[in-house]
């Protein structure tokens, strides 16, 4: 049973969402909130799997609410303003819905989140890492695309943004590299330096770098990325290349 919390300052929007959700099996609406403060309290008390929330709300926006919610909750943002689509996607966002909400898209998103929840620990323990099927809405040129974590080859820090390399394209997300690192499984990704994180399986070959102890990683994207001495040591250990682990 997927537990869902509804958050919107417009009562009619809540009523319509309940109507649409009534057509979906194996879900339970555990609460409703008309503002961010109420939603935070309900997240703590009901532990929902999914929060469907509006972006534009008084006092606390849906984006601010998602940043403050510390629990491992999946967020789907609902908005009538397409220009907010990129803002709506931080690392906890599982999807977005444009108002008026399309019934089939809602059903598809709820189904996707059911699978994500089912893939979690059978004991129901929270995992600090995003699953390989978790989707991010990322900007590429003038368009937006949903990219799965499993499709990401490299993440590069650029100012107060990160560039995400996936499926042969470069996308951007307004988030710090350190926040990204906290959500990525270290079994799949390695930090190359202060400005780069690489998918281990995307590294096709390694060679010694210009500085002692560093490495150059050649990726399947065609990029060459320098790995710092400290991170090169960690990578050698993870790949069993550290033949002299003194």
Query: In this predicted model, what pLDDT tens digit does every residue of 114-173 receive, in sequence order?
Result: 888 877 645 444 556 777 877 776 666 666 677 888 999 999 999 888 899 998 888 888
Q: Give the C-alpha distances (Å, rounded to integers) separating 25 from 52, 95, 112.
A: 17, 20, 14
123 located within any domain: no
Residue 167 sits in a domain whose CATH number is 2.40.50.1020
Helix (H, G, I), strand (E, B) or coil at 194: coil
> How many other β-carbons are positioned within 10 Å of the β-carbon of residue 15?
12
Over residues 193-216, mean pLDDT: 91
Over residues 22-50, mean pLDDT: 88
Q: Are residues 106 and 166 located together in one domain of the fold?
A: no
**In which domain, by residue range, is 205 found?**
142-238
Q: Residue 64 pLDDT > 50, yes or no?
A: yes
Over residues 164-184, mean pLDDT: 86
245 located within any domain: no
137 located within any domain: no
Q: Are residues 12 and 85 located together in one domain of the fold?
A: yes
CA distance 105 to 107: 5
104 located within any domain: yes
> How many other β-carbons are positioned within 10 Å of the β-carbon of residue 210?
7
Between these two residues, 218 and 85, which has the higher pLDDT value?
Answer: 218
112 located within any domain: yes
Confirm if 2 and 114 have CB atoms less than 8 A apart. Answer: yes
CA distance 220 to 202: 6
Q: Give the C-alpha distances (Å, rounded to integers) separating 114 from 26, 74, 135, 175, 245.
A: 9, 10, 14, 26, 44
243 located within any domain: no
Q: Count structural domains, the chain.
A: 2
CA distance 212 to 201: 24
Over residues 4-20, mean pLDDT: 93
Q: Are residues 10 and 114 located together in one domain of the fold?
A: yes
Residue 107 sits in a domain whose CATH number is 3.40.50.2300
Write down which residue in 57, 85, 118 finishes a domain.
Answer: 118
Q: Are residues 95 and 168 located together in one domain of the fold?
A: no
Provide φ and ψ at 195, rounded to 5°. Answer: -120, 5
Q: Are residues 93 and 180 located together in one domain of the fold?
A: no
Reference 135, options 187, 75, 82; nearest CA is 75
Confidence grade of residue 204 (pLDDT, cut at 50, 70, 90):
very high
The answer to whether the pTM exceeds 0.75 is no
168 located within any domain: yes
- pLDDT value at position 88? 45
CA distance 52 to 29: 10
Q: Are residues 194 and 158 located together in one domain of the fold?
A: yes
Write down which residue in 75, 102, 118 finishes a domain.
Answer: 118
Q: Residue 59 pLDDT > 70, yes or no?
A: yes
Q: Are residues 94 and 43 located together in one domain of the fold?
A: yes
CA distance 202 to 152: 9
136 located within any domain: no
CA distance 165 to 173: 11
CA distance 122 to 103: 30
């Amino acid at each position: 049973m997927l537990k869902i919390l509804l958050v919107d300052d417009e009562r009619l929007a809540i009523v319509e969402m309940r109507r649409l959700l009534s057509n979906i099996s194996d879900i339970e609406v555990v609460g409703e909130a008309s503002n961010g403060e109420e939603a935070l309290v309900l997240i703590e008390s009901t532990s929902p799997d999914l929060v469907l929330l509006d972006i534009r709300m008084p006092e606390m926006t849906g984006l601010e609410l998602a940043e403050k919610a510390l629990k491992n909750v999946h967020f789907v943002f609902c908005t009538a303003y397409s220009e907010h689509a990129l803002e709506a996607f931080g690392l906890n966002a599982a999807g977005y819905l444009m108002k008026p909400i399309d019934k089939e898209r809602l059903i598809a998103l709820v189904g996707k989140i059911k699978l994500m929840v089912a893939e979690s620990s059978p004991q129901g323990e929270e995992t600090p890492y995003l699953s390989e099927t978790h989707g991010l809405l990322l900007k590429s040129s003038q368009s937006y695309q949903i990219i799965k974590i499993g499709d990401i080859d490299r993440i590069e820090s650029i100012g107060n943004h990160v560039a995400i390399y996936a499926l042969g394209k470069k996308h951007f997300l307004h988030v710090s590299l350190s926040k990204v690192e906290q959500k990525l499984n270290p079994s799949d990704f390695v930090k190359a330096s202060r400005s780069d994180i690489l998918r281990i399986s995307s590294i096709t070959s390694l060679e010694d770098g210009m500085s002692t102890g560093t490495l150059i990683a050649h990726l399947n994207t065609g990029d060459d990325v320098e790995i710092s001495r400290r991170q090169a040591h960690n990578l050698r250990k993870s790949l069993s290349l550290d033949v002299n682990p003194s």
